[in-house]
Amino acid sequence: MKVGVISDTHGLLRPEAAAALQGCERIVHAGDIGSREILDQLQAIAPLTVVRGNNDLEAAWAVGLPDLLRFELDGWQALLVHDIADVPVALEEEVRLVITGHSHKPLIEWRGERLFINPGSAGRRRFKLPVTLALLEVDATEIEPRLIHLLT
């Protein structure tokens, strides 16, 4: 299963991001979406799993979006939250994938048997940080993550 992981679009879905997400069976957005239109554009590509970010909190269109979400990807229990500071200190043992955003700094890191992913920011460039998203190849026995740089 090919899964796209995106965050911090802040109202901008770059054509490079939309192209990179083509062929995904699911898209996960880790918050700071920026507008309902971004969700609509992503939903047109693949089914969408999303949490709101700190910049979405006051938006009327985001009122029904969760701040934290537990879900499954091909048998892998996942936790999705915008800010890594909001990840519970005592995570349930079955959670094997943690997806966050907020920092705009991409991260793919195995911590023991648990994979932490921050896809970075796919929206407007912040400082000199890269503009990125992540793609996951997921099956019942493994997850293969990779970072996609949208701008060179």
> For the chain, what are the domain ranges?
2-149
Mind listing the pLDDT tens digit for each residue in 112-151?
A: 999 999 999 999 888 889 999 999 999 999 999 999 999 8
Tokens of 117: 């992913």
Looking at residue 89, its pLDDT comes to 85
User: CATH second-level architecture of 2-149?
Assistant: 4-Layer Sandwich (3.60)
Residue 152 has pLDDT above 70, yes or no: no
Task: Give the residue, 67 or 128, on which the prediction is more confident.
Answer: 67
Indicate whether 2 pLDDT > 80: yes
Q: What is the mean pLDDT of residues 35-50?
A: 98
Q: Residue 52 — pLDDT band, cuts 50, 70, 90?
A: very high
95: closest CA among 68, 66, 119, 121?
68
For residues 115 and 131, give the distance between their C-alpha atoms in angstroms, rounded to a whole number. Answer: 21
pTM (global) more than 0.85:
yes
Long-range contacts of residues 84-89, Cβ cutoff 8 Å, at least 24 apart:
84/116, 84/118
Distance CA(78)–CA(93), nearest Å, equals 11
Across the chain, mean pLDDT equals 95
